[in-house]
Amino acid sequence: MDQSVALPLSLRLAWLIPIYGFSGMALSLPWATGWIKRNGPRPAAYLNLLVTLLAVLHGSWLLRQVLILGPQHLDYPWFQAADLNLRIGFDLSLTNLAALELVTTMSLICQVFALGYLDKEWSLARFYALVGFFEGAMCGVVLSSNLAMSYFLLEMLTLSTYLLVGFWYAQPLVVTAARDAFLTKRVGDVLLLMGVVALSAWAGSMEFDDLYAWAADAAASGSITPLAGTLLGLGLIAGPMGKCAQFPMHLWLDEAMEGPNPASILRNSVVVTCGAIVLLKLMPVLAPLSPLATQVLLVVGTISAIGGALVAQAQVDLKRAFSYGTTSYLGLVFIAIALQRPGIALLLLFAHGLARALQFMGVGSVIAATNCQDLSELGGIGTRMPATLMAFAVGSAGLVGLLPLGSFWCYGLMLTTLLPQSPAIAAVFLITNLLSALNATRVMRSLFWGPVLPKTKRTPEANWLMALPMVSLMVVVLLLPLIMQRIDPVPGIAAFPLWIGLLVAGSGLAGVLLALILPQEQFWSRTRQPVLRVIQDLLAYDFYTPELYRRTIVNLVASLARVVLWFDRTVVKGLVDGLGRLSLSTAEGLKLTVSGQLQSYVLTLIVSIVLLLSALQWLRGGLG
């Protein structure tokens, strides 16, 4: 804290940036709770936009100051008991501040988009209050310098996910989706909590820098057994796996698509980014203590990348087709993190966050115009919604390794290091890129090409509140290669050999061409060929993973719950009821002994005292 006194005021007030989002939530409460009814809920949206704009401006000023002064650290005491000392810390590094700007800027853009998307929503103020809560938690996660604070804020993200997914709580399917998403993420959170508690006992500090030093010393001295290190590592990676929707905790992101589309934009772009950033911060602890956990990350990333891309091919729900794409792309990020390539992992997150948000804005524009998200009922809207078509196309291309957009550079840099060492992992990147291009082109054909269907006969272009952020973000995605050229890992076109660039671009083009060649029926959801139908159903139902969970874990928990209920009703309740009946029967018998004679009461008292003293004397003699 003493070091921060000499810092500029803007740096010393960095703790305000998460507060901006939480203050937006607080400012929305009068309208969200109905205390103010006369002027509608829009003032709550405007107040949230104002505080989010302040967060963007403050973050950009912090970024400029750190470029001049170098990374800074702010530390404030919070809680101390015995040898436990918890502090609120902020790391003001270029990486954290760049992630912060991504979070706040995307939050601002999505809030403007939501004004157009939810223009007739009666509970608009409640939505903006929840988005403010969402934003504040994400800002705190990316700036946090200690694990305890990061865990606390990740729990807030889990809660806000539950509230936003269940926004339209009058619909039974929405309530079920919110519950399932919350419980799935809670599994990862509970395992992460176990790791946090173990680290607090072993390391004595929750600051990431202290944890790095402790992990290096523990690995060198062997003070932590391999089994303990492995269990610790598996617990620590479980939380980020849940937040990033990685196998086997990936189902929540699909369920979360029941929420409003503006929330889906944030969830698929920056929420998953926050989970990956926490994992990046934990890697210096995991690498020396738990090599097995690193291998688990590699396997999980590979399964998620290939599996998510395959499952996306058979989805007919417009939002779910790309939510599985998010799982797939974050699988590639997990592979980069497991292979100790943090710079490339950050570039992948940056390119994915912007392009995925733009893609989901195109999706939201289509849903707002048609009130439908079933691909089998959509088609032929390309000429009616040209701005949406351009935004969707640019966002999809930005997620595929097509020259010269952002993912092309990320894939090229990753393959440069992978091909000589791990050609199999390099193949995972190329196959995922091909499948992603295939899925994006498939959806584009269904939406914008082909005959006009009944639900797409009247599809006006998005209103200006939706079109303005969509077009603005499209320009940013197109200019992303120029932005990335200013970053050291991406010096220019000669960053990797030409043949690697051809491999990356070729895999993306192959996916596009394959999607254009494959026959596409109006009702893509069900093929007429029996063999293909079996494969399609296998992918459409996520390799029957939900049913597998239902038959194993859910049934096991339900059976245990039934056993506990029986024990509670039969044994515990029976024992309590028996004691109660015994007390009543004893009281009924004792009341008959009441005679009203004082000498009888005195005699009873004297006999009781004598018996008590005799028992105490006997016990003393026995102990002696």
3-class DSSP string for 44-69 = HHHHHHHHHHHHHHHHHHHHHHHHHH
Q: What is the pLDDT of residues 62-84, one digit of tens each?
A: 888 888 888 888 888 777 766 66
How is the chain split among helix, strand and coil, in percent rounded to 5?
80, 5, 20
How many angstroms separate the CA atoms of 167 and 126, rounded? Answer: 9
Mean pLDDT value of segment 249-271: 86
Q: Has residue 211 got a pLDDT over 70?
A: yes
* 124 residue type, one letter: L
Q: What are phi and psi of 382, to 5 degrees?
A: -60, -40
* 304 residue type, one letter: S
Count other Cβ atoms within 10 Å, centred on residue 221. Answer: 8
Q: Is residue 282 within 8 Å of residue 310, measured between CB atoms?
A: no
pLDDT category of residue 492 using cuts at 50, 70 and 90: low
Q: What are phi and psi of 420, to 5 degrees?
A: -70, -30
Q: Is residue 142 within 8 Å of residue 187, measured between CB atoms?
A: no
Q: Is residue 103 within 8 Å of residue 134, measured between CB atoms?
A: no
Find the helix packing angle between 464-484 and 386-399, rounded to 10°. 30
Q: Is residue 430 within 8 Å of residue 71, measured between CB atoms?
A: no
The string of DSSP codes covering 266-302 is: HIIIIIHHHHHHHHHHHHHHHHHH-HHHHHHHHHHHH
Instruction: Give me the helices (H) in 313-377, please.
Output: 318-338, 342-370
How much is the pLDDT for 35?
82
How much is the pLDDT for 2?
42
How much is the pLDDT for 594?
65
Where in the chain are the domains? 1-145, 175-289, 291-540, 549-573
Nearest to 158 by CA among 64, 37, 249, 235: 249
Asked, as a colleague might, if the bond just before 248 is cis with ω within 30 of 0, I would say yes
How many angstroms separate the CA atoms of 621 and 624, rounded? Answer: 5
On the 0-12 / 13-18 / 19+ scale of CB atoms within 10 A, 162 is buried
How much is the pLDDT for 84?
67
Nearest to 277 by CA among 306, 231, 244, 323: 244
Q: What are phi and psi of 74, to 5 degrees?
A: -115, 140
Q: What is the pLDDT of residues 430-476, one digit of tens each?
A: 999 999 999 999 999 888 887 888 877 888 888 888 989 999 999 99
Whole-number Cα distances in Å, 545 to 540, 542, 552: 11, 6, 10
pTM: 0.87
Q: What is the mean pLDDT of the chain?
A: 85
For residue 200 the two structure tokens come to 């607090």
How many angstroms separate the CA atoms of 443 and 255, rounded? Answer: 20
For residue 323 the two structure tokens come to 């939510």
Q: What are phi and psi of 15, to 5 degrees?
A: -65, -15
Q: Has residue 1 got a pLDDT over 50?
A: no
CA dihedral sign, ordered 128, 134, 135, 137: positive
Query: In the structure, how many helices (H) and strands (E) does the chain have?
Result: 25, 2
Length of the chain: 624
How many angstroms separate the CA atoms of 406 and 478, rounded? Answer: 8
Q: What is the pLDDT of residues 348-388, one digit of tens each?
A: 998 899 999 999 999 999 998 888 888 888 888 888 888 89
Q: What is the pLDDT of residues 30-57, one digit of tens each?
A: 888 878 776 677 888 899 999 999 999 9
CA dihedral sign, ordered 499, 500, 502, 506: positive
Q: What is the DSSP letter of 475?
A: H
How many angstroms separate the CA atoms of 155 and 566, rounded? Answer: 33
On the 0-12 / 13-18 / 19+ scale of CB atoms within 10 A, 549 is middle
Q: Is residue 92 within 8 Å of residue 60, measured between CB atoms?
A: no
Cβ neighbours for 391, distance < 8 A, ≥ 6 positions apart: 358, 361, 362, 365, 470, 471, 473, 474
Whole-number Cα distances in Å, 342 to 400, 539, 557: 20, 32, 38
* 105 residue type, one letter: T
For residue 489 the two structure tokens come to 């890992």
How much is the pLDDT for 596?
65
For residue 408 the two structure tokens come to 């092309």
Cβ neighbours for 60, distance < 8 A, ≥ 6 positions apart: 101
Q: First-to-last CA distance in the chain? A: 61
pLDDT category of residue 310 using cuts at 50, 70 and 90: very high
How much is the pLDDT for 603?
78
Residue 76, classed as helix, strand or coil, is strand
pLDDT category of residue 299 using cuts at 50, 70 and 90: very high
How much is the pLDDT for 550?
85
Mean pLDDT value of segment 254-282: 88
Q: What is the DSSP letter of 79?
A: E
Q: Pick the range with the lowest mean pLDDT from 86-95, 395-404, 517-526, 532-541.
A: 517-526
pLDDT category of residue 595 using cuts at 50, 70 and 90: low
Provide the b/e sequence for 85-98 (b: ≥16 CB within 10 Å): ebbbbbbbbebbbb
